Amino acid sequence: MAGLHCGDSAWARAASEWINGSEVFDSIEKNQTKVWVFRNSADEIVGFGSLNATGWKRWPPPGGPRTRLLYIPQLGIDSRFHGKPEHPEWRYSKQVMDYLIYEARMLATEIRETKPPSKHVDLLTLHVHKDNVVAQKLYKRFEFERLPGFEENDLYLMSHKLNLSTDD
Ligand SMILES: CC(C)(COP(=O)(O)OP(=O)(O)OC[C@H]1O[C@@H](n2cnc3c(N)ncnc32)[C@H](O)[C@@H]1OP(=O)(O)O)[C@@H](O)C(=O)NCCC(=O)NCCS
């Protein structure tokens, strides 16, 4: 993955460092995080996404009941491919989000089929820097909602209610 460069902002550098350094391996080892690397038809690395199931968390924080959540630890697109391809239907950001939400639904469904109800999950969550307007716009387009009043280390918390109906 050496060379994936998501941009120069603090949050973009954090994404590049996460995937190019040791954090990705720590996350895989400690949290069983799944990581996907996306390539285009020219076999260029376009970006990456990740997903895990958290341990017990208070939701909504800080005082809600203990629950488990699905969580996107990090995602990013190489800056050469930001806003590309221009057609919104084919935008790489959309393809990455579509895929992560699909994988989250698969994981939530598997947990429903194999674990007791106390472990079931239906919320996909993530942190986003409060000034990362581009990512926030992207997440809102995918029906992530900001948790009102939550801000920790300049990060907002957003969640997306997964559609776990079997109809589609
Ligand atoms: C977040 C990221 C994956 C989005 O990919 P992208 O290709 O840049 O996304 P898009 O081109 O689809 O843009 C998303 C939205 O931001 C808007 N946007 C793009 N550049 C913008 C800018 N400079 N200012 C304001 N809005 C902007 C787009 O118009 C689009 O809005 P819309 O959905 O209303 O049309 C990518 O920017 C990235 O890798 N950023 C660095 C790493 C990062 O922030 N990761 C997320 C950590 S939580």
pLDDT tens column, 143-156: 999 999 999 999 99
Whether residue 167 is predicted with pLDDT greater than 60 in this model: the reply is no
Q: What is the pLDDT of residues 34-54, one digit of tens each?
A: 999 999 999 999 999 999 999
25: Cα within 13 Å, side-chain hemisphere: 4
Q: Ligand 1 centre and the CA of 90: distance in Å?
A: 14
**CATH number of residue 27's parent domain:** 3.40.630.30
Whether the Cβ atoms of residue 155 and residue 127 lie closer than 8 Å to each other: yes
Ligand 1 center–CA 111 separation, angstroms: 31
Q: Is residue 1 part of a domain?
A: no
Q: Categorize the per-residue pLDDT at 107 as very low, low, confident or very high, splitting at 50, 70 and 90.
A: very high
> Mean per-residue pLDDT for 97-113?
97
Closest CA relative to residue 36, chosen from 87, 89, 107: 107
What are the tokens at 141?
């387009």
Tell me whether residue 2 is in a domain: no
Domain-located, residue 92? yes
pLDDT at 3: 82
Whole-number Å distance between alpha carbons of 161 and 121 = 10
Average pLDDT over the chain reads 95
Query: What's the domain range around 16?
Result: 10-161
In a domain, 44, yes or no: yes
Identify the residue whose C-alpha is closest to ligand 1 atom 42. 12
Pocket, ligand 1, Cβ cutoff 6 A: 6-7, 11-12, 15, 75-77, 82-83, 91-93, 126, 128, 132-135, 137-138, 141
Whether 4 maps to a domain, the answer reads no
Inform me whether the pLDDT recorded for 124 exceeds 80: yes
Domain count, the chain: 1
Classify residue 29: in a domain, yes or no.
yes
| 128 found inside a domain | yes
CA of 93 to the centre of ligand 1 (A): 8
Per the structure block, which two tokens stand in for 168?
């589609």
Provide the pLDDT confidence category of residue 85 given band limits of 50, 70 and 90.
very high
Neighbours of 2 (CB within 10 A): 6
5 in any annotated domain: no
